[in-house]
Structure 1
Amino acid sequence: MSERPTVHVDGTTLSPQEVMMVAKQQAIVAVSEDAWPAIHAARAVVERIVNTGETVYGINTGFGALVHERISSDDLAALQLNLIRSHATALGELMRVEAVRAMMLIRLNSLCKGHSGIHPDCIRQLALYLNHGIHPAIPRIGSLGASGDLAPLSHLALALIGEGEVLVDDVPVPTEQVLFDKGLIAVELTAKDGLSLINGTSQMTAYATIAQQELSELLLLADLILAVSMDARSCSLTPSRPEIHLARAHSGQMVVAERLRSILADSEILNQHRDCERVQDAYSFRCAPQVHGAVYESFKRLEGVIRIELNSATDNPLIFPEPDNPGAHEVVSQGNFHGEIIALTCDAMSLAAFELGSISERRMDQMLDPARSGLPPFLAKNSGLESGLMIVQYVAGSSLSEMHGKTTPRSAFSTTTSAG
């Protein structure tokens, strides 16, 4: 078996493809040497604040609505432990290992950007767990999105400190036992470490990345299936002529039209029907570049958002070191943990995917109906004696119903939490 490649984590260059390699355990991870200076510089700010006794949110105060509660230096480690333990309240089915690993890598990469002020030992622990196949047991439900993924990430952090559970052959096992078996030790938290670990968009970005990578293959297959369907229905390629799409120059429809011309360039069936009496094909064929193209543009938007989010600092507060002008201003409270851009983009992609499924089912209907296709009913070899693909369309309709239910925008929901 060949040695697995290494994904070098530096906070700026992580790609969706690399996330999937690590998620599927096809690569190991290493923190890039280029990342350490920024990590150490941000950490130095935290340690200076602790040593001088300045009062700064996220370092020596309470959290959220308890921001005005000052915490003594002797209690800072306990503050981080209590934060993780109290926030690890997620519920529901456990996340799959693939999603957990993606989430761990994304959190690691965000911390390596050098604005979190986390202790380097926590970064090393995340990389160690990934490379040793230690996967926290994380219930899926608990993130509001607007406050990052606090509850799910707290379950991840629990495992890093030797508490909670990890998955062994998909079965939750006490973390302490697994660490003992592997000869490893838990990480000890210091000031700000817990908050840096649990405040961010790592779970939602993990799920979005997995979906985006699966869609990258499915959208190509959708265009190929479209082309085969056009062949089966003896459709015209005229609606895919380049000048038509230059007249309405949306990039997506131009890409899809070009694909259709390329795939069907040597089609004997379409060439034989070039001069047939049919004036126009059904919308589901004739307008396919416009529909598939719009879906493709939603996909490209999703891809762009994910590439930025993968390499973003999303916890709060963030640290921007100024060694020549030190002070509390180096620690900035802000809202990068808010997942709105991921939610809106994924909602749009979910609706687009439904449209793709819907138009595909309509083409199926065109091919299975003998009155419109001129083909045997339901494409059966012996109609009546067998049902052909009749029930395939039933299942397609059922799938559309499932997809329709998932088009309800999750970003439209809001609720009041944390004392307003």
Structure 2
Amino acid sequence: MYSGSTTTSEVVAIARERAGVAISTAVIDSIRFAHHEAATLSERIPTYGRSTGFGANKTAVVDEKDSAHGMRLLRSSAVDSGSPLPEDAVRAMLAVRLSQLCTPGAGLEDRILPALASMLNANSLPTIREFGSVGSADLSALCGAALTLLGERPATGPLEPMAAWGKDSALPFVSSNALTIGRAVLAAHDLRQTVDAELVTYALTFTGLSGNPSPFSDASAKGTAAEGAQRFAERMRNIVGADHSPSRIQDPYGLRAFLPSTIGLINAMDKIEELLSRLIVAAQENPLFVYNEDGRGVAVEHSAGFHQAPLSLALDGVKIALAQTVPLSMSRIRMMTEPEYTLLNPFLAVGEESASGVMTIEYVVGSAYGAIHTAAHPSSLATVVLSRGTEEDASFASEGVVQLERAVRAYRSVVAGELVIATRLLRQRGLVPTDMRSATTSDAYEMALSLPQDDSDRDQREDLEAAEGILERLASLGR
């Protein structure tokens, strides 16, 4: 139910599970009244996109009798290119835009909201392509969605076309970064899930290598001076189990520095999730109609809320935080394949002395790290000047979310690779789930034993695929 208080988890459910949407009568009534008030304001205040042209044409006056102005804007701006985006990204875009429009500010017709809800409920979607946004409103994507609602572009399923939109609804509908925000919501969700799975995977590695739990003491955590470090240390003590007999006085960084490295990533995730939770209910339109507590229109603000510099910076922050954690994953993999730490064969191989064991999985993880590392390049440093200099900067948050999506996919491969190797190590040490030092690691190891157990040299693609397939279940243990 849309009531102006949509959450990020609801956006994920709408995008991935096709959860149904409905709009409360109170919201429809408030948007209808806001539309009337916006029209009244626009009659006496010059209003961008209604009484003027668009972009560099903002000084061009639009005749009051020009009823086709809005449709021309939608048609001329609905251009994009590249590969079509996946269904969940498109649904997330529509869910975010519907949520934003439930907060008065756009001043558009209320009939658009139930039409958008119907598009989602019928899963009759627009086709949106990958290139078109520079992080200053996803105009091409939202114009394409508008033309699909209007029947001028085909939907993926049956959809009753709407009557033509006027200038009071065209620009207000598309003045949003809903596609970028929606994709960021999905990517942040997937990253959180993968990090939760990594915490449990780390615990299995830690157990297999008889790690030293000292870095998870409250005093050690306090010494990092990082926000949330002590809470995270307690969480890790519960996951790993406090009763350990370490093999070493001091572990390599792969085990010992897990807390300070990971808390930075968790804090970056918290920051972007908090920002996204505000963005999906924010009225960021340009122009922005301002209303008093009674819903009366009091001002038209020509703003730049659509310039997604804060989101671009938050995306860069989480990508960089992720990139700095992965070398420690590779360190743990190196330890698990090294006889100095395991007292087992190199690469946990069996059979002939020349057997490779899990050697190539390390290369796969290295390849994934390369993708994470390159994706961490700050997209917020890019800019471009467009529309005859009218828009002389761009946030490129749209590119930042593409980088994050790629980084998260690669990170899943990293965690899956560590999980496969940790499970083999525990098996070769002769440990069973009841030997684990916590209920979490016991349950996790039980799950991990569903992975292929043939340690001979063979095709291990299915091992990694199976490991990725249980990450969601592992994540539920790590929360």
TM-score (norm 1): 0.87
1:18-417 equivalent positions in 2, closer than 5 A: 18-49=10-41, 52=43, 55-75=46-66, 77-145=67-135, 147-167=136-156, 178-179=158-159, 184-265=160-241, 270-271=244-245, 273=246, 276=247, 278-321=248-291, 330-382=299-351, 384=353, 386-417=355-386
CA distance 1:325–1:211, shift in 2 (3 Å) = closer
SS in 2 for 1:92: strand
The reply on whether 1:10 has 2:3 as its aligned counterpart is yes
Range with greater deviation from structure 2 (13-22 or 367-376):
367-376
Measure the CA separation in 2 of the matches of 1:238 and 1:53.
69
Question: Does the CA contact (< 8 Å) of 1:376 and 1:383 recur in 2?
Answer: no
Range with greater deviation from structure 2 (244-253 or 345-354):
244-253
Question: Does the CA contact (< 8 Å) of 1:46 and 1:191 recur in 2?
Answer: no
> RMSD value over aligned CA atoms?
2.1
Measure the CA separation in 2 of the matches of 1:410 and 1:239.
34
Range with greater deviation from structure 2 (309-318 or 354-363):
354-363
Question: Does the CA contact (< 8 Å) of 1:115 and 1:313 recur in 2?
Answer: yes
Measure the CA separation in 1 of the matches of 2:82 and 2:231.
41
Which residue number in structure 1 is paired with residue 450 of structure 2? none
Measure the CA separation in 2 of the matches of 1:358 and 1:205.
29
Question: Does the CA contact (< 8 Å) of 1:41 and 1:114 recur in 2?
Answer: no
Amino acid at match of 1:348: G
Question: Does the CA contact (< 8 Å) of 1:223 and 1:259 recur in 2?
Answer: no
Measure the CA separation in 2 of the matches of 1:124 and 1:247.
54
Measure the CA separation in 1 of the matches of 2:220 and 2:314.
29
Range with greater deviation from structure 2 (248-257 or 374-383):
248-257
String of CA shifts for 1:88-114, please: whole Å, max 9, x gaps.
111111111111011001111111101
Question: Does the CA contact (< 8 Å) of 1:80 and 1:189 recur in 2?
Answer: yes
Question: Does the CA contact (< 8 Å) of 2:106 and 2:173 recur in 1?
Answer: no
Measure the CA separation in 1 of the matches of 2:371 and 2:184.
19
Amino acid at match of 1:127: A
String of CA shifts for 1:208-256, please: whole Å, max 9, x gaps.
1001111221111111111111111111101111122123342343233
Q: State the number of aligned residues.
A: 389
Measure the CA separation in 2 of the matches of 1:386 and 1:48.
79
Give 1:71 shift. Answer: 1.1
Question: Does the CA contact (< 8 Å) of 2:316 and 2:376 recur in 1?
Answer: yes
The answer for unaligned runs of 5 or more in structure 2 is 390-479
The answer for unaligned runs of 5 or more in structure 1 is 1-7, 169-177
String of CA shifts for 1:129-181, please: whole Å, max 9, x gaps.
11111110011211010x2111121111111111123235xxxxxxxxx43xx
Question: Does the CA contact (< 8 Å) of 1:223 and 1:256 recur in 2?
Answer: no
Which residue number in structure 2 is paired with residue 171 of structure 1? none
Range with greater deviation from structure 2 (232-241 or 349-358):
349-358
Measure the CA separation in 1 of the matches of 2:48 and 2:116.
25
TM-score (norm 2): 0.77
Measure the CA separation in 1 of the matches of 2:349 and 2:151.
60
Measure the CA separation in 2 of the matches of 1:324 and 1:35.
14
String of CA shifts for 1:31-85, please: whole Å, max 9, x gaps.
12332343123201233256x565322222111221121112221x311111111
CA distance 1:26–1:164, shift in 2 (3 Å) = closer
Which residue number in structure 2 is paired with residue 3 of structure 1? none
Percent of aligned positions that are identical: 27
SS in 2 for 1:419: coil
